[in-house]
Amino acid sequence: MTVLDKRLTWRDIAAIARGARLDLSAAAWSRIDHAAAIVAELVASGVRAYGINTGVGALADTVINREQQSRLSRKIILSHACGVGPLLEDEAVRAVMAAQIANFAHGHSGVRGLIVRNLMTMLERGCIPHVPSRGSAGYLTHNAHIALVLIGEGRARLGNEDLSGRDALARCGLEPIVPGAKEGLSLVNGTACSTGILSLALARAEALLDWTDAAAALTFEAAGGQITAYREDVLALHRSPGLSASGKALRGYLEGSRILAASEGRRTQDPLSLRAVPHAHGAARDMFAFAAQAVDNELGSVTDNPAVSGTPDAPLVWSEAHAVSPALGQAADGLALSLAQIGMMSERRIDRLVNPLVSGLPGFLARDAGENSGFMIAQYTASALCSENRRLAAPASTDGGVTSGLQEDFLAHPTAAANKLMGIIANFEYILAIELMAAAQAHDLRSGEAARAPGTELIHHFVRQHIAPYADDRPLGDDIEALRQAIRAENAPATTHGD
Protein backbone atom coordinates (compact mmCIF):
# COMPACT_ATOMS: atom_id res chain seq x y z
CA MET A 1 0.00 0.00 0.00
CA THR A 2 1.26 3.49 -0.86
CA VAL A 3 0.08 6.22 1.48
CA LEU A 4 0.22 9.67 -0.08
CA ASP A 5 1.04 12.51 2.29
CA LYS A 6 3.28 15.07 0.64
CA ARG A 7 5.21 13.40 -2.12
CA LEU A 8 5.29 10.25 -4.24
CA THR A 9 8.24 9.05 -6.29
CA TRP A 10 8.31 7.50 -9.73
CA ARG A 11 8.70 4.11 -8.06
CA ASP A 12 5.44 4.66 -6.20
CA ILE A 13 3.60 5.63 -9.40
CA ALA A 14 4.97 2.56 -11.23
CA ALA A 15 3.92 0.32 -8.34
CA ILE A 16 0.39 1.76 -8.33
CA ALA A 17 0.24 1.35 -12.10
CA ARG A 18 1.02 -2.34 -11.59
CA GLY A 19 -1.67 -2.85 -8.98
CA ALA A 20 -0.48 -1.42 -5.64
CA ARG A 21 -3.13 0.36 -3.59
CA LEU A 22 -3.01 4.14 -3.12
CA ASP A 23 -4.33 5.77 0.06
CA LEU A 24 -4.23 9.41 1.11
CA SER A 25 -3.25 10.65 4.53
CA ALA A 26 -5.49 12.89 6.62
CA ALA A 27 -3.13 15.78 5.86
CA ALA A 28 -3.55 15.24 2.11
CA TRP A 29 -7.35 15.22 2.40
CA SER A 30 -7.16 18.40 4.45
CA ARG A 31 -5.13 20.13 1.73
CA ILE A 32 -7.62 19.05 -0.94
CA ASP A 33 -10.59 20.36 1.04
CA HIS A 34 -8.77 23.62 1.82
CA ALA A 35 -8.08 24.29 -1.88
CA ALA A 36 -11.70 23.48 -2.80
CA ALA A 37 -12.89 26.04 -0.23
CA ILE A 38 -10.61 28.65 -1.78
CA VAL A 39 -12.14 28.03 -5.21
CA ALA A 40 -15.63 28.32 -3.74
CA GLU A 41 -14.74 31.72 -2.33
CA LEU A 42 -13.21 32.84 -5.63
CA VAL A 43 -16.50 31.96 -7.32
CA ALA A 44 -18.51 33.78 -4.67
CA SER A 45 -16.35 36.90 -4.75
CA GLY A 46 -16.15 37.09 -8.55
CA VAL A 47 -12.37 37.59 -8.56
CA ARG A 48 -11.23 37.13 -12.13
CA ALA A 49 -9.43 33.80 -12.40
CA TYR A 50 -8.40 31.76 -15.45
CA GLY A 51 -10.62 28.77 -16.08
CA ILE A 52 -12.85 29.57 -13.11
CA ASN A 53 -14.80 32.51 -14.45
CA THR A 54 -13.02 32.92 -17.80
CA GLY A 55 -12.66 30.82 -20.89
CA VAL A 56 -9.47 28.83 -21.49
CA GLY A 57 -6.56 29.08 -23.89
CA ALA A 58 -6.97 32.03 -26.22
CA LEU A 59 -10.35 32.69 -24.54
CA ALA A 60 -8.65 33.55 -21.23
CA ASP A 61 -9.94 37.13 -21.36
CA THR A 62 -13.55 36.10 -21.97
CA VAL A 63 -15.39 36.42 -18.64
CA ILE A 64 -18.32 34.08 -17.97
CA ASN A 65 -21.07 34.37 -15.37
CA ARG A 66 -21.89 32.13 -12.39
CA GLU A 67 -24.51 30.17 -14.29
CA GLN A 68 -22.02 29.30 -17.04
CA GLN A 69 -19.16 28.19 -14.77
CA SER A 70 -20.30 24.62 -14.09
CA ARG A 71 -21.29 24.17 -17.73
CA LEU A 72 -17.81 25.42 -18.67
CA SER A 73 -16.19 22.61 -16.66
CA ARG A 74 -18.24 19.92 -18.40
CA LYS A 75 -17.71 21.42 -21.82
CA ILE A 76 -13.95 21.68 -21.29
CA ILE A 77 -13.88 17.92 -20.69
CA LEU A 78 -16.04 17.15 -23.73
CA SER A 79 -14.18 19.44 -26.12
CA HIS A 80 -10.73 18.35 -24.96
CA ALA A 81 -11.47 14.61 -25.28
CA CYS A 82 -10.33 14.42 -28.90
CA GLY A 83 -7.54 11.86 -28.77
CA VAL A 84 -7.12 9.37 -31.60
CA GLY A 85 -5.38 6.12 -32.37
CA PRO A 86 -4.67 2.97 -30.32
CA LEU A 87 -5.53 3.05 -26.63
CA LEU A 88 -2.91 3.45 -23.93
CA GLU A 89 -2.13 0.23 -22.07
CA ASP A 90 -3.95 -0.27 -18.78
CA GLU A 91 -0.77 0.26 -16.74
CA ALA A 92 -0.15 3.59 -18.42
CA VAL A 93 -3.69 4.81 -17.71
CA ARG A 94 -3.38 3.77 -14.06
CA ALA A 95 -0.04 5.61 -13.84
CA VAL A 96 -1.62 8.79 -15.23
CA MET A 97 -4.51 8.55 -12.76
CA ALA A 98 -2.11 8.04 -9.83
CA ALA A 99 0.01 11.03 -10.88
CA GLN A 100 -3.15 13.13 -11.22
CA ILE A 101 -4.24 12.25 -7.68
CA ALA A 102 -0.75 13.12 -6.43
CA ASN A 103 -1.03 16.55 -8.02
CA PHE A 104 -4.46 17.23 -6.53
CA ALA A 105 -3.16 16.19 -3.10
CA HIS A 106 -0.69 19.09 -3.06
CA GLY A 107 -3.71 21.27 -2.33
CA HIS A 108 -3.39 23.91 -5.03
CA SER A 109 -5.83 22.59 -7.67
CA GLY A 110 -9.17 23.23 -6.00
CA VAL A 111 -11.07 20.07 -6.96
CA ARG A 112 -13.45 18.61 -4.40
CA GLY A 113 -12.55 15.53 -2.42
CA LEU A 114 -15.38 13.70 -4.23
CA ILE A 115 -13.41 13.79 -7.49
CA VAL A 116 -10.27 12.42 -5.87
CA ARG A 117 -12.23 9.69 -4.06
CA ASN A 118 -13.88 8.63 -7.31
CA LEU A 119 -10.53 8.43 -9.09
CA MET A 120 -9.16 6.33 -6.24
CA THR A 121 -12.18 4.02 -6.35
CA MET A 122 -11.69 3.54 -10.07
CA LEU A 123 -8.06 2.59 -9.44
CA GLU A 124 -9.03 0.20 -6.67
CA ARG A 125 -11.75 -1.50 -8.72
CA GLY A 126 -9.66 -1.71 -11.90
CA CYS A 127 -11.85 0.66 -13.91
CA ILE A 128 -9.63 1.78 -16.79
CA PRO A 129 -10.88 4.64 -19.00
CA HIS A 130 -10.30 4.33 -22.73
CA VAL A 131 -7.49 6.81 -23.42
CA PRO A 132 -6.35 7.18 -27.05
CA SER A 133 -2.56 7.39 -27.20
CA ARG A 134 -2.26 10.04 -29.89
CA GLY A 135 -3.34 13.60 -30.50
CA SER A 136 -1.99 15.45 -27.50
CA ALA A 137 0.48 18.29 -27.94
CA GLY A 138 1.00 18.29 -24.20
CA TYR A 139 -1.39 16.51 -21.86
CA LEU A 140 -4.93 17.76 -22.41
CA THR A 141 -6.54 15.03 -24.49
CA HIS A 142 -5.25 12.09 -22.44
CA ASN A 143 -6.45 13.62 -19.18
CA ALA A 144 -9.79 14.58 -20.72
CA HIS A 145 -10.57 10.99 -21.71
CA ILE A 146 -10.08 9.93 -18.08
CA ALA A 147 -12.34 12.78 -16.96
CA LEU A 148 -15.01 11.65 -19.44
CA VAL A 149 -15.65 8.53 -17.39
CA LEU A 150 -15.91 10.57 -14.19
CA ILE A 151 -18.83 12.49 -15.68
CA GLY A 152 -20.45 9.33 -17.05
CA GLU A 153 -19.28 9.73 -20.64
CA GLY A 154 -16.67 7.90 -22.69
CA ARG A 155 -15.84 4.22 -22.24
CA ALA A 156 -13.85 2.11 -19.81
CA ARG A 157 -12.58 -1.44 -19.28
CA LEU A 158 -13.62 -3.22 -16.12
CA GLY A 159 -12.17 -6.70 -15.93
CA ASN A 160 -12.77 -8.22 -19.35
CA GLU A 161 -15.73 -5.98 -20.17
CA ASP A 162 -15.84 -2.88 -22.33
CA LEU A 163 -18.47 -0.56 -20.84
CA SER A 164 -19.87 2.92 -21.23
CA GLY A 165 -18.51 5.39 -18.71
CA ARG A 166 -21.85 5.53 -16.90
CA ASP A 167 -22.13 1.72 -16.65
CA ALA A 168 -18.50 1.39 -15.53
CA LEU A 169 -19.12 3.90 -12.73
CA ALA A 170 -22.26 2.05 -11.67
CA ARG A 171 -20.32 -1.22 -11.43
CA CYS A 172 -17.92 0.62 -9.09
CA GLY A 173 -20.79 1.95 -6.99
CA LEU A 174 -20.29 5.52 -8.23
CA GLU A 175 -22.49 8.19 -9.75
CA PRO A 176 -21.35 10.55 -12.53
CA ILE A 177 -20.09 13.83 -11.08
CA VAL A 178 -21.28 17.27 -12.10
CA PRO A 179 -17.98 19.19 -12.25
CA GLY A 180 -17.93 22.52 -10.50
CA ALA A 181 -15.98 25.68 -11.23
CA LYS A 182 -12.35 24.98 -12.20
CA GLU A 183 -12.78 21.23 -11.86
CA GLY A 184 -13.05 20.61 -15.58
CA LEU A 185 -9.85 22.57 -16.16
CA SER A 186 -8.03 20.82 -13.32
CA LEU A 187 -9.05 17.42 -14.66
CA VAL A 188 -7.57 18.07 -18.11
CA ASN A 189 -4.59 20.10 -16.93
CA GLY A 190 -1.19 19.31 -15.43
CA THR A 191 1.63 16.93 -16.29
CA ALA A 192 0.08 13.74 -14.92
CA CYS A 193 0.12 12.12 -18.36
CA SER A 194 3.82 12.52 -19.08
CA THR A 195 4.77 11.96 -15.44
CA GLY A 196 2.76 8.76 -15.21
CA ILE A 197 4.04 7.29 -18.48
CA LEU A 198 7.60 8.30 -17.65
CA SER A 199 7.36 6.58 -14.27
CA LEU A 200 6.50 3.34 -16.03
CA ALA A 201 9.25 3.92 -18.58
CA LEU A 202 11.77 4.37 -15.77
CA ALA A 203 10.70 1.09 -14.16
CA ARG A 204 11.20 -0.79 -17.41
CA ALA A 205 14.43 1.04 -18.28
CA GLU A 206 15.98 0.34 -14.87
CA ALA A 207 15.47 -3.39 -15.34
CA LEU A 208 16.76 -3.18 -18.92
CA LEU A 209 19.98 -1.48 -17.85
CA ASP A 210 20.73 -4.45 -15.59
CA TRP A 211 19.89 -6.89 -18.37
CA THR A 212 22.11 -4.95 -20.76
CA ASP A 213 25.11 -5.47 -18.47
CA ALA A 214 24.23 -9.16 -18.18
CA ALA A 215 23.91 -9.65 -21.94
CA ALA A 216 27.15 -7.80 -22.61
CA ALA A 217 28.98 -9.95 -20.06
CA LEU A 218 27.75 -13.18 -21.69
CA THR A 219 28.80 -11.89 -25.12
CA PHE A 220 32.15 -10.57 -23.85
CA GLU A 221 33.02 -13.97 -22.44
CA ALA A 222 31.88 -15.83 -25.57
CA ALA A 223 34.06 -13.48 -27.66
CA GLY A 224 37.11 -14.04 -25.45
CA GLY A 225 37.40 -10.39 -24.44
CA GLN A 226 40.36 -8.77 -22.71
CA ILE A 227 39.23 -8.18 -19.13
CA THR A 228 41.87 -5.56 -18.38
CA ALA A 229 39.60 -2.87 -19.85
CA TYR A 230 37.04 -3.59 -17.10
CA ARG A 231 39.42 -3.51 -14.15
CA GLU A 232 38.35 -1.25 -11.30
CA ASP A 233 41.59 0.77 -11.27
CA VAL A 234 41.42 1.25 -15.04
CA LEU A 235 37.81 2.44 -15.05
CA ALA A 236 38.47 4.68 -12.04
CA LEU A 237 40.50 6.92 -14.37
CA HIS A 238 37.19 8.12 -15.84
CA ARG A 239 34.74 9.77 -13.45
CA SER A 240 31.14 8.59 -13.79
CA PRO A 241 28.84 6.92 -11.25
CA GLY A 242 27.13 5.00 -14.03
CA LEU A 243 30.40 3.78 -15.51
CA SER A 244 31.51 2.61 -12.09
CA ALA A 245 28.23 0.75 -11.54
CA SER A 246 28.30 -0.99 -14.92
CA GLY A 247 31.98 -1.86 -14.52
CA LYS A 248 31.27 -3.45 -11.15
CA ALA A 249 28.37 -5.46 -12.58
CA LEU A 250 30.46 -6.68 -15.51
CA ARG A 251 33.35 -7.72 -13.26
CA GLY A 252 30.89 -9.49 -10.98
CA TYR A 253 29.47 -11.53 -13.83
CA LEU A 254 32.89 -12.33 -15.32
CA GLU A 255 34.89 -13.04 -12.19
CA GLY A 256 36.36 -16.53 -12.24
CA SER A 257 35.93 -17.07 -15.99
CA ARG A 258 38.31 -19.73 -17.26
CA ILE A 259 37.38 -18.70 -20.81
CA LEU A 260 38.72 -15.19 -20.24
CA ALA A 261 41.80 -16.52 -18.49
CA ALA A 262 42.56 -18.67 -21.54
CA SER A 263 42.05 -15.73 -23.93
CA GLU A 264 44.22 -13.27 -21.99
CA GLY A 265 46.68 -11.54 -24.31
CA ARG A 266 45.10 -12.95 -27.46
CA ARG A 267 44.47 -9.37 -28.67
CA THR A 268 46.09 -6.08 -27.76
CA GLN A 269 42.65 -4.57 -27.32
CA ASP A 270 39.05 -5.45 -28.13
CA PRO A 271 36.78 -3.64 -30.59
CA LEU A 272 34.82 -0.81 -29.02
CA SER A 273 31.52 -2.69 -28.89
CA LEU A 274 33.25 -4.87 -26.27
CA ARG A 275 35.82 -2.52 -24.77
CA ALA A 276 33.56 0.52 -24.31
CA VAL A 277 30.63 -1.31 -22.69
CA PRO A 278 31.09 0.32 -19.24
CA HIS A 279 31.33 3.75 -20.85
CA ALA A 280 28.18 3.49 -22.97
CA HIS A 281 26.16 1.61 -20.38
CA GLY A 282 27.44 3.95 -17.69
CA ALA A 283 26.41 7.03 -19.65
CA ALA A 284 22.92 5.57 -19.95
CA ARG A 285 22.83 4.94 -16.20
CA ASP A 286 23.84 8.55 -15.54
CA MET A 287 21.09 9.78 -17.87
CA PHE A 288 18.64 7.47 -16.14
CA ALA A 289 19.50 9.10 -12.81
CA PHE A 290 18.90 12.54 -14.33
CA ALA A 291 15.54 11.51 -15.77
CA ALA A 292 14.45 9.85 -12.51
CA GLN A 293 15.23 13.04 -10.59
CA ALA A 294 13.26 15.11 -13.11
CA VAL A 295 10.19 12.89 -12.66
CA ASP A 296 10.47 12.96 -8.87
CA ASN A 297 10.77 16.74 -9.01
CA GLU A 298 7.58 16.87 -11.07
CA LEU A 299 5.70 14.61 -8.68
CA GLY A 300 6.72 16.90 -5.84
CA SER A 301 5.44 19.95 -7.71
CA VAL A 302 2.11 21.60 -8.43
CA THR A 303 1.62 21.10 -12.15
CA ASP A 304 -1.71 22.57 -13.19
CA ASN A 305 -2.74 26.13 -13.98
CA PRO A 306 -3.96 28.23 -12.31
CA ALA A 307 -2.80 27.45 -8.77
CA VAL A 308 -4.92 28.51 -5.82
CA SER A 309 -3.46 29.43 -2.46
CA GLY A 310 -4.08 31.56 0.60
CA THR A 311 -7.23 31.00 2.66
CA PRO A 312 -10.97 31.16 1.97
CA ASP A 313 -10.94 34.54 3.73
CA ALA A 314 -8.02 35.78 1.64
CA PRO A 315 -8.02 33.66 -1.55
CA LEU A 316 -5.17 33.82 -4.02
CA VAL A 317 -5.08 32.56 -7.59
CA TRP A 318 -2.00 32.57 -9.78
CA SER A 319 -1.74 32.02 -13.51
CA GLU A 320 1.53 30.26 -14.23
CA ALA A 321 3.07 27.71 -16.62
CA HIS A 322 3.83 24.70 -14.43
CA ALA A 323 1.95 22.38 -16.78
CA VAL A 324 4.38 22.97 -19.67
CA SER A 325 7.30 21.04 -18.14
CA PRO A 326 10.23 21.37 -20.53
CA ALA A 327 12.25 19.40 -17.97
CA LEU A 328 10.17 16.26 -18.50
CA GLY A 329 10.45 16.49 -22.28
CA GLN A 330 14.20 16.92 -22.09
CA ALA A 331 14.54 14.08 -19.57
CA ALA A 332 12.52 11.67 -21.73
CA ASP A 333 14.43 12.69 -24.87
CA GLY A 334 17.77 12.26 -23.12
CA LEU A 335 16.97 8.79 -21.84
CA ALA A 336 15.56 7.80 -25.23
CA LEU A 337 18.82 8.80 -26.89
CA SER A 338 20.88 6.87 -24.33
CA LEU A 339 18.85 3.68 -24.69
CA ALA A 340 18.90 3.93 -28.48
CA GLN A 341 22.69 4.21 -28.34
CA ILE A 342 23.30 1.20 -26.11
CA GLY A 343 20.79 -0.75 -28.20
CA MET A 344 23.01 -0.01 -31.21
CA MET A 345 26.01 -1.28 -29.27
CA SER A 346 24.11 -4.47 -28.42
CA GLU A 347 23.38 -5.01 -32.12
CA ARG A 348 27.09 -4.58 -32.92
CA ARG A 349 27.92 -7.26 -30.36
CA ILE A 350 25.33 -9.55 -31.96
CA ASP A 351 27.03 -9.02 -35.31
CA ARG A 352 30.40 -9.96 -33.84
CA LEU A 353 28.90 -13.21 -32.56
CA VAL A 354 27.25 -14.23 -35.85
CA ASN A 355 29.90 -12.94 -38.26
CA PRO A 356 32.31 -15.80 -39.10
CA LEU A 357 34.93 -13.26 -40.22
CA VAL A 358 35.52 -12.18 -36.61
CA SER A 359 33.79 -14.65 -34.28
CA GLY A 360 35.91 -17.76 -34.68
CA LEU A 361 32.63 -19.67 -34.46
CA PRO A 362 30.47 -21.41 -37.07
CA GLY A 363 28.92 -18.88 -39.42
CA PHE A 364 25.78 -17.26 -37.97
CA LEU A 365 26.00 -19.65 -35.01
CA ALA A 366 24.41 -22.38 -37.16
CA ARG A 367 25.24 -25.99 -36.34
CA ASP A 368 25.27 -26.87 -40.02
CA ALA A 369 25.96 -23.61 -41.83
CA GLY A 370 24.71 -23.71 -45.39
CA GLU A 371 21.71 -25.91 -44.81
CA ASN A 372 20.97 -23.82 -41.72
CA SER A 373 20.92 -20.02 -41.50
CA GLY A 374 21.13 -19.86 -37.73
CA PHE A 375 20.99 -16.32 -36.39
CA MET A 376 21.64 -14.60 -39.74
CA ILE A 377 18.23 -12.98 -39.98
CA ALA A 378 17.90 -12.41 -36.25
CA GLN A 379 20.78 -9.95 -36.63
CA TYR A 380 18.79 -8.30 -39.44
CA THR A 381 15.90 -7.91 -37.01
CA ALA A 382 18.14 -6.32 -34.41
CA SER A 383 19.54 -3.97 -37.05
CA ALA A 384 16.03 -2.96 -38.17
CA LEU A 385 14.99 -2.26 -34.57
CA CYS A 386 18.09 -0.12 -34.08
CA SER A 387 17.20 1.87 -37.18
CA GLU A 388 13.71 2.45 -35.84
CA ASN A 389 15.15 3.53 -32.49
CA ARG A 390 17.39 6.06 -34.21
CA ARG A 391 14.29 7.60 -35.78
CA LEU A 392 12.42 7.56 -32.47
CA ALA A 393 15.41 9.16 -30.69
CA ALA A 394 14.92 12.43 -32.59
CA PRO A 395 13.94 14.89 -29.83
CA ALA A 396 10.29 15.69 -29.28
CA SER A 397 11.09 18.60 -26.99
CA THR A 398 12.29 20.75 -29.91
CA ASP A 399 9.29 20.07 -32.16
CA GLY A 400 7.63 23.37 -31.23
CA GLY A 401 4.14 24.09 -32.51
CA VAL A 402 1.63 26.89 -32.04
CA THR A 403 -1.88 26.27 -30.71
CA SER A 404 -4.89 28.15 -29.34
CA GLY A 405 -4.70 31.28 -31.44
CA LEU A 406 -1.07 32.14 -30.52
CA GLN A 407 -1.81 31.88 -26.78
CA GLU A 408 -0.08 28.48 -26.51
CA ASP A 409 2.90 29.49 -28.66
CA PHE A 410 5.51 27.25 -27.01
CA LEU A 411 5.14 23.50 -26.59
CA ALA A 412 7.63 21.18 -24.84
CA HIS A 413 5.92 17.89 -25.85
CA PRO A 414 6.72 15.84 -22.72
CA THR A 415 3.94 13.34 -23.43
CA ALA A 416 5.15 12.73 -26.97
CA ALA A 417 8.68 12.31 -25.62
CA ALA A 418 7.45 9.80 -23.03
CA ASN A 419 5.55 7.80 -25.66
CA LYS A 420 8.61 7.71 -27.94
CA LEU A 421 10.71 6.51 -25.04
CA MET A 422 8.30 3.65 -24.43
CA GLY A 423 8.63 2.68 -28.09
CA ILE A 424 12.42 2.62 -27.84
CA ILE A 425 12.24 0.51 -24.68
CA ALA A 426 10.00 -2.04 -26.41
CA ASN A 427 12.41 -2.31 -29.34
CA PHE A 428 15.42 -2.53 -27.02
CA GLU A 429 13.84 -5.43 -25.14
CA TYR A 430 13.76 -7.40 -28.41
CA ILE A 431 17.35 -6.44 -29.26
CA LEU A 432 18.55 -7.64 -25.86
CA ALA A 433 16.59 -10.88 -26.22
CA ILE A 434 18.39 -11.52 -29.51
CA GLU A 435 21.79 -10.79 -27.96
CA LEU A 436 21.13 -13.12 -25.04
CA MET A 437 20.02 -15.88 -27.40
CA ALA A 438 23.02 -15.42 -29.68
CA ALA A 439 25.47 -15.28 -26.77
CA ALA A 440 23.98 -18.45 -25.22
CA GLN A 441 24.22 -20.19 -28.60
CA ALA A 442 27.84 -19.09 -28.95
CA HIS A 443 28.63 -20.56 -25.55
CA ASP A 444 26.93 -23.82 -26.51
CA LEU A 445 29.09 -24.01 -29.63
CA ARG A 446 32.16 -23.56 -27.41
CA SER A 447 31.04 -26.44 -25.20
CA GLY A 448 33.94 -28.51 -23.98
CA GLU A 449 36.33 -25.57 -23.81
CA ALA A 450 37.19 -23.69 -20.61
CA ALA A 451 34.48 -23.09 -18.01
CA ARG A 452 32.24 -20.07 -17.84
CA ALA A 453 32.30 -17.70 -14.87
CA PRO A 454 29.74 -18.46 -12.15
CA GLY A 455 27.99 -15.19 -12.98
CA THR A 456 27.64 -15.86 -16.68
CA GLU A 457 26.59 -19.42 -15.88
CA LEU A 458 23.54 -17.89 -14.17
CA ILE A 459 22.75 -15.83 -17.27
CA HIS A 460 23.20 -18.80 -19.62
CA HIS A 461 21.00 -20.94 -17.38
CA PHE A 462 18.28 -18.27 -17.44
CA VAL A 463 18.25 -18.24 -21.25
CA ARG A 464 18.12 -22.01 -21.46
CA GLN A 465 15.28 -22.15 -18.94
CA HIS A 466 13.14 -20.31 -21.47
CA ILE A 467 14.43 -21.40 -24.88
CA ALA A 468 16.35 -24.39 -26.20
CA PRO A 469 19.47 -24.21 -28.41
CA TYR A 470 18.51 -23.33 -31.97
CA ALA A 471 18.89 -25.71 -34.90
CA ASP A 472 16.69 -24.11 -37.59
CA ASP A 473 13.94 -26.41 -36.36
CA ARG A 474 11.29 -23.82 -35.43
CA PRO A 475 10.39 -20.17 -36.09
CA LEU A 476 13.10 -18.11 -34.43
CA GLY A 477 10.69 -15.21 -33.89
CA ASP A 478 8.78 -17.25 -31.32
CA ASP A 479 11.97 -17.69 -29.29
CA ILE A 480 12.69 -13.95 -29.45
CA GLU A 481 9.22 -13.15 -28.17
CA ALA A 482 9.44 -15.73 -25.38
CA LEU A 483 12.77 -14.43 -24.11
CA ARG A 484 11.63 -10.82 -24.40
CA GLN A 485 8.66 -11.63 -22.19
CA ALA A 486 10.98 -13.39 -19.72
CA ILE A 487 13.31 -10.42 -19.33
CA ARG A 488 10.30 -8.14 -18.87
CA ALA A 489 8.99 -10.39 -16.11
CA GLU A 490 12.21 -11.19 -14.24
CA ASN A 491 15.22 -9.24 -13.01
CA ALA A 492 18.67 -9.97 -14.36
CA PRO A 493 20.46 -12.72 -12.38
CA ALA A 494 22.23 -11.30 -9.36
CA THR A 495 25.85 -12.10 -8.64
CA THR A 496 27.65 -11.97 -5.32
CA HIS A 497 31.00 -11.76 -7.03
CA GLY A 498 32.83 -8.54 -7.83
CA ASP A 499 34.38 -5.74 -5.83
Which of the two residues, 38 and 50, has the higher pLDDT score?
A: 38
User: Does the pLDDT value for residue 402 go beyond 80?
Assistant: no
The answer on 21 and 127 residing in a single domain is: yes
Give the list of residues 6+ apart from residue 48 with CB closer than 8 angstroms, or none.
54, 63
The answer on 269 and 353 residing in a single domain is: yes
Per-residue pLDDT tens over the stretch 322-334 = 988 899 999 999 9
Closest CA to 80 of 314, 323, 257, 281: 323
When mean pLDDT is compared across 153-157, 179-183, 231-235, the lowest value belongs to 179-183
The answer on 219 and 362 residing in a single domain is: yes
**Which residues, listed in sequence order, are joined to residue 188 by a DSSP beta bridge?**
none
pLDDT at 72: 85
The answer on 220 and 344 residing in a single domain is: yes
The answer on 287 and 209 residing in a single domain is: yes
Per-residue pLDDT tens over the stretch 166-178 = 999 999 999 999 9
In a domain, 309, yes or no: no
> What is the pLDDT confidence band of residue 134, given thresholds at 50, 70 and 90?
confident
Distance CA 64, CA 435 (A): 61
The burial class, CB within 10 Å (0-12 / 13-18 / 19+), for 181 is buried
pLDDT at 60: 59
Interior CA angle at 119 toward 115 and 122, to 5°? 140
Number of structural domains in the chain: 2
Confirm if 382 and 346 have CB atoms less than 8 A apart. yes
Q: Could you give the percent of the chain with pLDDT greater than 70?
A: 92
Confirm if 320 and 281 have CB atoms less than 8 A apart. no
Per-residue pLDDT tens over the stretch 169-217 = 999 999 999 998 889 999 999 999 999 999 999 999 999 999 999 999 9
Which of the two residues, 56 and 335, has the higher pLDDT score?
A: 335
Q: Which residue segment(s) compose the domain that 461 sits in? A: 198-299+325-489
Q: How far is CA 491 from the centre of its chain?
A: 17
Distance CA 389, CA 343 (A): 8
pLDDT at 406: 44
pLDDT at 212: 98
Question: What integer best gives the mean pLDDT of the chain?
Answer: 92
Q: What are phi and psi of 408, to 5 degrees?
A: -100, 80
Per-residue pLDDT tens over the stretch 337-382 = 999 999 999 999 999 999 998 998 999 999 887 789 999 999 999 9
Last residue of a domain, one of 189, 215, 249: 189
Per-residue pLDDT tens over the stretch 101-131 = 999 999 999 999 999 999 999 999 999 999 9
User: Could you give the 3-state DSSP secondary structure of residue 248?
Assistant: helix
pLDDT at 55: 63
pLDDT at 57: 59
In a domain, 317, yes or no: no
